[in-house]
Amino acid sequence: MIGARNSTTIIHLFKGKNNEIVDAVQRYEELYGVGPIWVIRVPARICLAADHTDYWPGFTSELVVMASDSQVMYAVVGPRDDEVVSCNSSGDGFEQWEQKLGENAPIGDDWLSWLEALGAPTPHWSNYVMGSVRHAQMFEEVKLGFNMSITSTIPPDSGSSSSSALAICGMFAIRLSNQLTTDAEVMTFTTAEAEWFCGTRGGMMDHATMMYSHSNSVLRLTFNPFSQQVIELPKEMNDVKFATLFTHPSKKGDEVKRAFNELAFVAREIIPRLVSKNWQDDWKNVARELPEKMSREEITNRWPNECEVFEKMYPALFDVNFEIKIADRFRFAMRELDRSKRMQSILTSGNSTAEQIGNIMNEAWVDAGELYGIRTPEMDQFANQAREIPGVYGIKVMGAGFGGNLLLLTDNNVDLSPLGEEIIQECYAGRAASIIDAEYMMPKLDNSTPPLAAVLLCGGKGSRMIKQGITTHKPLLNLNGVPSTKLVIQQLLNSNLNYSQIIIVVPPGREAEYDEALTGLGVKIITQHEALGTGNAVHCIIDELLSPIEQVYVSFGTQ
């Protein structure tokens, strides 16, 4: 497990190297003060093929997905020594909130039963964090809360699954703060279940994508059973780029939540009860035999003994009368599975083309409207404008639809600014979620190290030694006949490191003594005029450092 690091240390290590991390940590310090932290990075999810099939039973779904390298959520997490969970976000409209672990804590060890008894919570961004917290509380020993500050370039309500990214941040936070494991498999399975706390009943495509992705690659994800396989993007993809086009917010209010749960309900509950086993090879004929629609009354009459389970599992759907499409939803899933297999074949063929990938995306766009019903008129309008631009190969819906982002595949040189620069974001295949490890940013002391300086702090008045009749300054006492500070300097000069500058900081009145003892060693002696402590002593030398110096070794002269 990666340990927490001091927030100010993180700022200094990443300054000039990753301003996103620096800004996020500085914001945390403004809110919660300086202290030990973890920095969590979670990418947006992009699905290229087999959308909305991860929760279909009855066949092994095969999704082609990747993480975005440009749309990322950062969570700066600080452990607490009490039961408080305190969170804030830099996003507009996301007010700060606090909850306690002991309030509304889960009961028992059956997550779904507890959720059924609890009911769907009032919509609020805290639900995605607290769902992860409550899930961990049910199955792990959780005693301590955390502070968490969120900054994100994943647009909310965009279909890039900022909600799942937030849930993953929450799961990282509660597990790290209580010294629990955070490996990819644990994070994927637990967070997917935890997100049901919000009232939806989705699968775990988002979470698996975020936890397993690799740079310059797509993932092949299967479910029933779960597996993940990295497929490196072929060289032909170097000439094209992906971009997201934001249309309008996909608010997960009651209407959209109901529509999303309708899709999951048909997939999980209705289709498995209507079709026989071993139907995959004959799915087109099976689709013809399925009812086009079913009403709530028809479902209740057909499965009277199971309606109570349906209502508990999908409360956001069963609180009103409805009529839902059956056959078209089934056709969509089967056609998405076929598109995924074709895309995998193209990407691994050795002669893939952007037109081939784009055609599959365009097929998915058509079905998302005609068979799955997740497009809106505004989305269609933006897509039509994009298709008029030469070099746009493919367009598809991202995520749950009903607004949000469209995914475009284009030539590298295509100018998409006519669509609106503020709503276009280029993206490439990025890496998985991670805890930022400051260790790789720590200075590496070897022959390739940038110019070094050494600073020896030789402070103190030596009052006690003077009372004993010893007038030599303590850092200059002899060790084997050599002044100890001189011995340290000789060791530094004889090491395999190249010290471009050595500075000695001494109290007033001691300068001549050090000049004499250290003659010929090429050191610079600086006076600390006021005894204001170690930090001030180091500060005294800042303006004296040579401009190429990047790293400084600091030691107390008496040590």
Tens digit of each residue's pLDDT, the chain (559 residues)? 789 999 998 998 899 999 999 999 999 999 999 999 999 999 999 999 998 888 888 788 899 999 999 999 999 999 999 999 999 999 998 999 999 999 999 999 999 999 989 988 999 999 999 999 999 999 999 999 999 999 999 988 888 899 999 999 999 999 999 999 999 999 999 999 999 999 888 889 999 999 999 999 999 999 888 999 999 999 999 999 999 999 998 865 666 777 778 888 999 999 999 998 777 778 999 999 999 999 999 999 999 999 988 988 888 788 788 899 999 999 999 999 999 999 999 999 999 999 999 999 999 999 999 998 889 999 999 999 999 999 999 999 998 788 899 999 999 999 999 999 899 999 999 999 999 998 777 666 666 667 889 999 988 777 777 778 888 898 999 988 899 999 999 988 888 788 889 999 999 999 999 999 999 999 999 999 888 888 888 888 888 888 888 888 888 755 4
Q: Cα separations (Å) of 279 from 131, 272, 286?
A: 37, 11, 7
CB atoms near residue 11 (< 10 Å)? 18
What does the alpha-carbon distance between residue 378 and residue 384 come to, in Å, rounded to a whole number? 10
What does the alpha-carbon distance between residue 538 and residue 177 come to, in Å, rounded to a whole number? 34
| Helix, coil or strand: residue 286 | helix
Q: Environment class of residue 422 by beta-carbon count within 10 Å: exposed (0-12), middle (13-18) or buried (19+)?
A: exposed
| Helix, coil or strand: residue 306 | coil
What does the alpha-carbon distance between residue 314 and residue 224 come to, in Å, rounded to a whole number? 21
Cβ pair 45, 67 in contact under 8 A: yes
Residue 444 confidence (pLDDT): 64
Domain at 443-556, CATH class: alpha beta
Q: 307: Cβ–Cβ under 8 A, 6 or more apart, which residues?
A: 299, 300
Residue 559 confidence (pLDDT): 44
The DSSP secondary structure of 233-278, one letter per residue, reads PPGGGGGEEEEEEEEE----SHHHHHHHHHHHHIIIIIHHHHS-SS
CB atoms near residue 49 (< 10 Å)? 27
Ordered alpha helix ranges (H), 140-229 = 162-177, 184-194, 205-212
Residue 445 confidence (pLDDT): 61
What is the residue extent of each domain of the chain?
Answer: 443-556
Phi then psi for residue 234, to 5 deg, are -70, 160
Retrieve residue 513's tokens.
Answer: 């003594």
Q: Cα separations (Å) of 265 from 114, 257, 258, 307?
A: 20, 12, 10, 12
What is this structure's pTM?
Answer: 0.80
Best CA proximity match to 434, nearest among 194, 233, 215, 242: 215
Sign of CA dihedral 205, 210, 211, 213: positive
Residue 47 confidence (pLDDT): 95
Residue 447 confidence (pLDDT): 60
What does the alpha-carbon distance between residue 182 and residue 166 come to, in Å, rounded to a whole number? 15
What does the alpha-carbon distance between residue 124 and residue 145 come to, in Å, rounded to a whole number? 19
pLDDT tens-digit map of 270-320: 999 999 877 777 899 999 999 999 999 999 999 999 998 898 888 878 878
Count H helices and E strands in the chain, helices first. 20, 22
